[in-house]
Chain A
Amino acid sequence: MSANRKSMLSSAIISRAIRDSFIKLNPKTMAKNPVMFVVEIGTFIVLLLTLFPGYFDTKDDIGFNLTVFLILLFTVLFANFAEALAEGRGKAQADSLKNSKKETSANKLVGGVVKVVPSTELRKGDVVVVAQGEMIPGDGEVIEGLASVDESAITGESAPVIKEAGGDFSSVTGGTKVVSDRIVVRITSDPGESFIDRMISLVEGAKRQKTPNELALNTLLSSLTIIFLIVVVTLGPIAGYLDIDLQIPVLIALLVCLIPTTIGGLLSAIGIAGMDRVTQFNVLAMSGKAVEAAGDINTMILDKTGTITYGNRMASEFLPVGNASIQEVGAWSAISSVRDETPEGRSVLELMKKQLLTFDESIAAGSDFIEFKAETRMSGVDLKDGRKVRKGSVDAVKKWVTAQGGSIPTDLDGGSDSIAREGGTPLAVAVDNRIYGLIYLKDTVKPGMRERFEQLRQMGIKTIMCTGDNPLTAATIAREAGVDDFVAESKPEDKIALIRREQADGKLVAMTGDGTNDAPALAQADVGLAMNSGTIAAKEAANMVDLDSDPSKIIEVVSIGKQLLMTRGALTTFSIANDIAKYFAIIPAMFILAIPEMKALNIMGLGSPLSAILSALIFNAIIIPLLIPLAMKGVAYKPMSASKLLSRNIVIYGLGGIIVPFIGIKLIDLVVHLWI
């Protein structure tokens, strides 16, 4: 599904948006957007003047009035179109989710007997059996068994994931499919409240609530609208003293040009598109507020394992002991790992290549592979010639060698201790009764993390790494990854204490988590990103869920939040800065007939009073669709300090907002003036 999400801005969406922009003309809907509602009322008044010219004594101006009416109508339609278009992608996505919600039958366990019922009849607490090839009928928790589940309906990821009873991988989602084995699931949600249901309503934007920042901005835009309403209404009587008779359509044109229609028309589209960008990113935000909060984050708490590091330890060095050479340690390590499919095993072979060491693969031919077992804590191969090669925990290997009568090289303990001190894990490598050396296993930081933390620092975000490792290990990884701070030997309750401490300083905190014991911290954090693979408790406590279960995505979510806020600010500034040029177009045009000297104010040299008014009005209308792509995509954002960002954006959207309309109105006037 993720593949076709990108190409969803199809003609179907566009034609649906065009239809919706007319439906949204309903005054009841429009009243929610005071700025555009005023434009709609103005449109209606001009329509009356056009339709009943006899009654209003406007016969002479019918052509002008009709033109003004059409431009105003398109202004409203463009604004509606922007909103409908932003909603469109979510609606289309919701439709495809609804398809996966098809009613299925469920094998409900009633008193140990399986009974087939429709999935809609399942209630919280019911227990169902799901076998290979069947759809899981509702959200729930695996209470018995282990199965691989295809979750592509939600995550878009086609590789199945393992779900098993107990632990942090027990939650399953309705609408996903069991690909192998059989599990018993306890249903945890009633119909209509399932994860897919919530997801549908979120992407559809059905329950979209305005965020506090949107509300505050709306208040400001509404009061600017009222101010300009006062300006325009009082202008008539004042001008009357100079015997200037101002036509109502001209006053309405002035009003519509002055009120912030650009941002008023695009505001909700910006919000919806911001949420949508998060969704495209396969993160499900429970509210727009959560996305905005992501932009405000001051502190980010990251788990070491899985987020900053791969979590599995990689071979990074061979340390010979006794009188062995590096070549020997490497070769025996490689031979012991030839058939070892664990990440550690594969990393040994990669290290050989990196260090340009070679070994004779024929030695290992036809050998028996000895798997790692918790009791032996070693793995390796038994060669055909009878030699036994082992690698494993230092203690285990020492015991194994001693049992065969071998001796322990004196520098072994020193080497293994120093590896442990640096935060690594030592593996000893032995052949029969001789220990050749150590493999230095390191927890490897994911590539690019350092740069990303540097970017976060530039944005003013502090990163704190949490890990269960000892302080030494933690410090090493922290230094390597470049995080600002770390908490070693941390327990889940430490995390919530850390969040509270940061919040007490007024900081907004983001964190990721997946386990049930992360749930309180996820709830406490301002932005909690739960992994879809995590437990239900974690997902419910969080305000965002990452469908791909990639905890490092939190960093991108912050960028999206910032981008959303910047887009809103940029377009607001642009919209308000536009007023200067519009004043210079309309004011001289209104008064020039009565006071010819007003032509001194016509600094754009617009053709005629009528063409000046129409040009300003046309500019005002077409700027909305021209800015739709920007509203949908968001303004370009690169992490940098606030001061740099601000100077850059002020130049583009503030100064640009002053200059662009001068040029735009002049160009439109050159065309319009051909007729009038």
Chain B
Amino acid sequence: MGILQIIIVLAVLVLLVKPVGSYVYHVYSNEPNKTDRIYGWFERFIYMLIGLKHRNGMTWKKYALSFLLTNIILVAVGYLILRLQKYLPFNPSGIDNMEETLSFNTIVSFMTNTNLQHYSGESGVSYFTQMAVMTMMMFTSAATGFAIAIAFVRGITSRGETIGNFFEDFVKSHTRILLPAAVIVTLVLVALQVPQTLDPTLTVTTLEGATQSITMGPIAALESIKHLGTNGGGFFGANSAHPFENPSPLTNVIEILSMWVLPASLPYVYGRFAKNRKQGWVVFSAMMTLFLLFLSLIYFSELRGNPAINALGVDASQGSMEGKEVRFGIPQSALFSAVTTAATTGTVNNMHDTLTPLGGLGTLGEMMLNTVFGGKGVGLVNMLMYAILGVFLCGLMVGRTPEFLGRKIEPREMKLIAVAILAHPFIILVPTAIAFLTDLGQGSITNPGAHGISQVLYEYTSSAANNGSGFEGLADNTPFWNITTGLVMMLGRYISIIAMLAVAGSLVRKQWVPETVGTFRTDNKLFYGILIGAVLIIGALTFLPAIVLGPIAEHLKLG
């Protein structure tokens, strides 16, 4: 039955890819279509409001600058709200201003689509902050990611000078995708008993006569965009394991699909832009294959349970239920964990800290690759970067200098890609080593041995991949962790995005090379294999030594 549950969700996802992908393609293709009548007037109003008269195409530099400035302004506003929330409205519980380093960490976390939370939603932020900072940034960071991915795809598939207009893409991501989808998902969640209210914390007397405070709030609204935007920042500290955020298996499936369907349909969008849908399906299949690999690892490890606990005579047929919700069980928990780390959402419906070592490795591995569907937009961009790398390494073997989608891959592109592939291991492994070298870092680790290594590795990997889920247990609300993870999140997002936009800007100007039988094809089974090989050999081998010391050592020791 467990596997059947998973297969049904997978099947629904695969069926959704084409319709959703076609819709997304039409949003960004900038060709007139029927939906203009629904959204056009509203967008024209916004364009007028922000003074966007001519939506001219931008060069990659202008595009990057536009997106950076937009993010900087949003960060500045958000930081001020966090630091001054005590004086702002909608604070019925009288929550205090946030501390500096925590504010820095939080604002970077939400702007970079990471949603790593070193604060607890219940006690750390007011309703106003939840709405004006968290929910707002969940929209804007996701829209930014979307815009970047589309700009990159335009760059590698079209010819000319421009990769699109950032502001137009940014507005359309909101008006045509995120807002309508969020409204629908919110209503569905409300119908399925997820609270949506501005009432203050409810104080009730329990049957025992004790008083209990029950935190509520505008949960359903946040819940929808939390998943749609692959954000992951929960209303409550317990995130989607909390019964208000995720009350039933049905809401669980809705949450899984709403965080998964947009990243999963982006390869199809890419295929449409490339005017060769096979290109998109090859990328999708590679992502799906890697996903199934990791999902199986998590599912079967959790199902097998913890041999040490099984040995104590605990019923092993349930699998490892430690840290999991009974209403979800192993299959719904394993699938949720695999999807949340694949799509780098970071929402959790079970505690990743208590996954079996190999189950934890599955979640860690997906974030280290950051290409198995990946975060909003970024996953596709990273996968296409591996595609370019695969073309570069293997393309020579057909006796031509490497070409991708009809463009030569030359020193400039390789330099930029080198920056991107260097950044990822650098910002994971170097801070991890620093954390182990310093008392400031070591002081927060709450587990001895290999699991302690997993804890730290997970924290930085989650930050670097802009996932945001945590191996809870790490005492991470300290200046050291707030600052280091804040920096890692920032570098993890912006270095590769800027480098890849530059690649797009360089490719878009290149002379096209016509396709002949002598051309290296990137739309067939062979390339699907090469793509997976490139991801595993270049992306995964880098982390092998660290993983061996963390989850693998822990697994081997468990016996």
Interface residues of A (CB under 8 A from B): 212-213, 215-217, 219-220, 222-224, 226-228, 230-242, 244, 254, 258, 292, 295-296, 298, 457-462, 505-508, 561-563, 565-566, 568-570, 572-573, 576-577, 579-580, 583, 587, 591, 595, 597-598, 600-601, 637, 641-643, 645-647, 649-650, 653-654
Contact B409 A643 (CB under 8 A): no
List chain B residues, Cβ under 8 A from A258: 541
- Given A295-B401, A296-B400, residue A580 in contact with residue B549 (CB < 8 A): no
Contact A235 B519 (CB under 8 A): no
Interface residues of B in 407-441 (CB under 8 A from A): 409-411, 413-415, 417-419, 421-422, 425-426, 429-430, 432-434, 436-437
Contact B429 A645 (CB under 8 A): no
B406 lies within 8 A of chain A by Cβ: yes
Report the bound CA distance from A374 to B517 in whole Å: 49
Question: Measured between C-beta atoms, what is the minimum distance from A123 to chain B in Å?
Answer: 40
Report the bound CA distance from A220 to B526 in whole Å: 22
B513 lies within 8 A of chain A by Cβ: yes
Contact A219 B557 (CB under 8 A): no
SS of B interface (majority): helix
A-B contact pairs, 16 of them (CB 8 A): A215-B411, A219-B415, A220-B414, A226-B422, A230-B430, A235-B546, A241-B445, A241-B452, A566-B398, A598-B548, A601-B552, A642-B518, A642-B521, A646-B394, A650-B530, A654-B533
B280 lies within 8 A of chain A by Cβ: no
Quick one: which of B397, B398, B524, B549 has the most chain A CB within 10 A? B397
Contact A566 B433 (CB under 8 A): no
Question: Measured between C-beta atoms, what is the minimum distance from A193 to chain B in Å?
Answer: 30
Chain B residue nearest to A572 (CB atoms) is: B393
Interface residues of B (CB under 8 A from A): 389, 392-402, 406, 409-411, 413-415, 417-419, 421-422, 425-426, 429-430, 432-434, 436-437, 442, 445, 449-450, 452-453, 511-514, 516-521, 524, 526, 529-530, 533, 537-538, 541-546, 548-549, 552-553, 556-557, 559
List chain A residues, Cβ under 8 A from B421: 223, 227
List chain B residues, Cβ under 8 A from A254: 545
Report the bound CA distance from A132 to B553 in whole Å: 85
Contact A295 B400 (CB under 8 A): yes
Report the bound CA distance from A637 to B452 in whole Å: 53
Additional 6 contacts, C-beta under 8 A, given A457-B517, A583-B541 = A216-B413, A220-B417, A258-B541, A295-B399, A597-B553, A646-B394
Contact A653 B397 (CB under 8 A): yes
List chain A residues, Cβ under 8 A from B409: 216
Quick one: which of A240, A576, A642 has the most chain B CB within 10 A? A642
Contact A242 B422 (CB under 8 A): no
Report the bound CA distance from A224 to B414 in whole Å: 12
Contact A647 B526 (CB under 8 A): yes
Contact B541 A579 (CB under 8 A): yes
Contact A572 B512 (CB under 8 A): no
Report the bound CA distance from A583 to B548 in whole Å: 11
List chain A residues, Cβ under 8 A from B415: 219
| Interchain residue pairs A-B with the least CB separation, the first 5 | A569-B396, A460-B518, A562-B399, A460-B516, A223-B418
Report the bound CA distance from A566 to B398 in whole Å: 6
Contact B545 A235 (CB under 8 A): yes
- Given A231-B542, A597-B557, residue A506 in contact with residue B513 (CB < 8 A): yes
Contact A231 B429 (CB under 8 A): yes
Quick one: which of B453, B518, B519, B556 has the most chain A CB within 10 A? B518
List chain B residues, Cβ under 8 A from A587: 544-545, 548
Chain A residue nearest to B543 (CB atoms) is: A231
List chain B residues, Cβ under 8 A from A457: 517
- Given A601-B548, A649-B397, residue A219 in contact with residue B411 (CB < 8 A): yes
Question: Measured between C-beta atoms, what is the minimum distance from B172 to chain A in Å?
Answer: 32
- Given A223-B422, A239-B549, residue A573 in contact with residue B393 (CB < 8 A): yes
- Given A223-B418, A650-B530, residue A212 in contact with residue B429 (CB < 8 A): no
Contact B395 A569 (CB under 8 A): yes
Chain A residue nearest to B403 (CB atoms) is: A296
Contact B449 A242 (CB under 8 A): yes
Question: Measured between C-beta atoms, what is the minimum distance from B431 to chain A in Å?
Answer: 9
Contact A238 B433 (CB under 8 A): yes
Contact B450 A242 (CB under 8 A): yes
- Given A212-B411, A298-B514, A569-B397, residue A597 in contact with residue B533 (CB < 8 A): no
Report the bound CA distance from A580 to B514 in whole Å: 36
- Given A580-B537, A591-B553, residue A292 in contact with residue B393 (CB < 8 A): no
Quick one: which of A237, A563, A598 has the most chain B CB within 10 A? A237
Report the bound CA distance from A427 to B537 in whole Å: 70
List chain B residues, Cβ under 8 A from A462: 516
Quick one: which of B414, B432, B546 has the most chain A CB within 10 A? B414
List chain A residues, Cβ under 8 A from B432: 234, 238
Question: Measured between C-beta atoms, what is the minimum distance from A236 to chain B in Å?
Answer: 8
List chain A residues, Cβ under 8 A from B436: 237-238, 240-241
Question: Measured between C-beta atoms, what is the minimum distance from B347 to chain A in Å?
Answer: 28
Chain B residue nearest to A233 (CB atoms) is: B433
Report the bound CA distance from A279 to B394 in whole Å: 27
Contact B433 A460 (CB under 8 A): no
